[in-house]
Amino acid sequence: MKSLQEIQAIREVMHPELELRNVGSQEAKSKYERQVLICGGTGCTSSGSPEIERVLREEIEKAGLTDKIQVVKTGCFGLCALGPIMIVYPSGAFYSRITAENIPQIVKEHFVEGNPVKELLYDETVDGDKIKGLNETSFYKKQHRVALRNCGAINPENIDEYIGKDGYKALAKVLKEMTPEDVIQTILDSGLRGRGGGGFPTGMKWKLARTIVPNADQKYVCCNADEGDPGAFMDRSVLEGDPHVVLEAMAIAGYAIGATQGYIYVRADS
């Protein structure tokens, strides 16, 4: 287990690396010239993204660009109808519906020669000689992501990338600066409610869990990741694309109610 100081050190190292994924950022100081993000969500995976990733790594190695280009498998970008999706930063070039057969051309023309392959880019992002980034498309530009803010932006299997996006910063604040009662009051004041039909206030749930049996030998946090609506897959998007945000939230809840163990309930259809 790492100390808060060690986590902060990781954050300081990872932040400039991840800044390369923000189009036009002046803070990016990555050791790579480019970062290629490939969607590893369920939709893109079923459309062949694992094979695309394999071929991409092979072609980058053949071109001698391994130390200049980082390949990152992410969670779902959200625009599943255009998958498989691949985004190249820092330009933000948005390749959609690509196949493994397209990869040699992209590596040669875009990565080696510096010319994005326009016919393989999402058509809405091509405006003459200008290439627009993902966030300028009609599907994304009005979105303000909260629960899904890291999905499609980080490698969900790399804890350092989550930390680099200020992951576990909230937990650190809770442990260093707040009592369990402070945490519960903050959640109550936020107005946060369950997303089911009952809309039960989350802060009240935590308050009851802490106070009804204050001296229980053992308390648990149970994360309900069951998908009640067929084909919805909201929970799965978070679990696949940003699992550490779930773990951090469970840790905060555990601190607030006095629990020391947690379980995630998930079924095969989730």
Mention every residue, 6+ apart, whose C-beta is less than 8 A from residue 98.
Answer: 52, 84, 85, 86, 106, 120
Confidence band, pLDDT 50/70/90 cuts, at residue 237: confident
- Are residues 136 and 19 part of one domain? yes
Instruction: Sort 220 into a burial class: Cβ within 10 Å, 0-12 / 13-18 / 19+.
Output: middle
Whether the CB-CB separation of 244 and 162 falls below 8 Å is answered with yes
Residues 16 and 113 both lie in one domain: yes
User: Which pairing describes strands 220-224 and 34-39: parallel, antiparallel, or unpaired?
Assistant: unpaired
| The amino acid at 43 | G
Q: Are residues 187 and 126 in the same domain?
A: no
- Which domain-ending residue is among 129, 164, 199? 164
Tokens 């890291």 found at: 150
Q: Which residues pair with 94 in a beta bridge?
A: 87
Instruction: For residue 242, give both structure tokens.
Output: 């940003």
Range of the domain at 119: 4-164
Q: In the prediction, which pLDDT does 3 show? A: 87
Please write the tens of the pLDDT for every residue from 244-269.
999 999 999 999 999 999 999 987 76
| pLDDT band for position 84 (cuts 50, 70, 90) | very high
Last residue in a domain, options 164, 186, 205: 164
Cis peptide before 230 (omega within 30 of 0): no
* Interval 154-211: pLDDT, tens: 999 999 999 999 999 999 999 999 999 999 999 999 999 987 778 899 999 999 999 9
pTM (predicted TM-score): 0.91
Q: Is residue 270 part of a domain?
A: no
Looking at the structure, tell me whether residues 124 and 193 fall in a common domain.
no
Range ranked top by mean pLDDT from 110-114, 227-231, 263-267 = 110-114
The mean pLDDT value of the chain amounts to: 91
Tell me 130's DSSP state: E
Number of folded domains in the chain? 2
